[in-house]
Amino acid sequence: DTVARLGHAAGIIGGVGADDFGRCVLDRLQADGVDSRNVAQMAHMATAVAFVTYFDDGSRKFIYHIDNTPAVLGDLTDAAAVRDPAFFHVMGCSLMANDAFRARIFDTLAFFHAHGAKISFDPNIRPELLGERSLGELVEPLLAKCSVLLPGVTELAMLGGAEEVEENVRRAFAAWPLEVIVLKRGKQGCTVFTRTGQIDAPAFPVEEVDPTGAGDCFDAGFLCGLLEGKPLAECARTAAAAGALNAAAFGPMEGRISPATVAEMLRGGQPA
């Protein structure tokens, strides 16, 4: 959704029920310009939901009702909608809900990769979904084709297995054909690693209202920067602006994100 709001062509693959929750989601996506031809509406099934609990110390807990819903039955039903794809982006928690769905995601990833798309991946680990499984066993087929990895510090450590960030970065580049690792550090900003160096970018200071969804908006901002041919440092700044705008509003999709508001953040202003 954020990619579309930032002015780029974007589509989503998934499924919703033929209920008010499903219509709400589709109406929002379509209003923001997202191609939703590959979102199936399934009668007699309820749309998946996730509840977020916020604690006084700033931590969160998620309660998911995803398995056995249309969310894990979505598929690429309209391949004609795919034309010269630039990126196929996967959010890690979608790989954790259902084994059959994960296999379908990998098949779809292979289709996009064969059609020229680069693969971007945000591990987005949710312990409530991961359970006792190791992260590596769930994501290895994806990482074998991944170009842009967008983890948090803990997620990178889970993938690399070491205590030091630099060692986990080294192991990741050695194991997979990554071009860029964008390490998200929350209020401390981010670090963009390539095979030849690194770039640090600060976060934008905003009054945080709700961090939910900010990381996903960050991902979108970074990918949009790549689509626009920006240097990596500018991609990181664009990503930080999108994430900050979303964190300043309550709700995972409610930040006032647009090319104009991001540009204003980048110029040093604060959107009203």
Q: What pLDDT was estimated at residue 127?
A: 62
Identify the helix (H) or strand (E) that includes residue 149. strand 146-149
| 8 Å CB contact between 149 and 178 | yes
Q: How many CA atoms lie within 13 A of 219 on its CB side?
A: 22
Q: What pLDDT was estimated at residue 186?
A: 86
> What mean pLDDT, rounded, does the chain reach?
92
Alpha-carbon distance 175 to 140, whole Å? Answer: 10
Q: Is the pLDDT of residue 201 over 80?
A: yes
| Residues 156-190 pLDDT 10s | 998 999 999 999 999 999 999 999 999 999 889 99
| Residues 229-260 pLDDT 10s | 999 999 999 999 999 999 999 999 999 999 99
Q: Is the pLDDT of residue 199 over 70?
A: yes
| 8 Å CB contact between 242 and 220 | yes
| 8 Å CB contact between 96 and 64 | no
Q: What pLDDT was estimated at residue 271?
A: 60
Q: What pLDDT was estimated at residue 12?
A: 95
Read off the pLDDT band of 270 (50, 70, 90).
low
Mean of pLDDT values over 61-86: 90
Beta carbons within 10 angstroms of residue 56's beta carbon: 5
Read off the pLDDT band of 96 (50, 70, 90).
confident
Q: Is the pLDDT of residue 132 over 80?
A: no
Go through 217-239 and write b for each residue having 16 or more CB atoms within 10 A of its CB, e for each that does not: bbbbbbbbbbbeeeebebbbbbb
Alpha-carbon distance 247 to 184, whole Å? Answer: 14
Q: What pLDDT was estimated at residue 158?
A: 87
> Tokens 């990741």 appear where?
172
Q: Is the pLDDT of residue 269 over 70?
A: no
What secondary structure letter does DSSP report for 152?
B
Read off the pLDDT band of 42 (50, 70, 90).
very high
Q: Which amino acid is present at 224?
A: C
Q: What pLDDT was estimated at residue 7?
A: 97
| Residues 208-236 pLDDT 10s | 999 999 999 999 999 999 999 999 999 99
Tokens of 95: 């790989």
Helices (H), the chain: 2-5, 20-31, 99-114, 127-130, 135-143, 153-160, 165-175, 214-227, 232-247, 259-266
Q: Is the pLDDT of residue 91 over 70?
A: yes
| 8 Å CB contact between 38 and 30 | no
Q: What pLDDT was estimated at residue 33?
A: 97
| 8 Å CB contact between 113 and 119 | yes
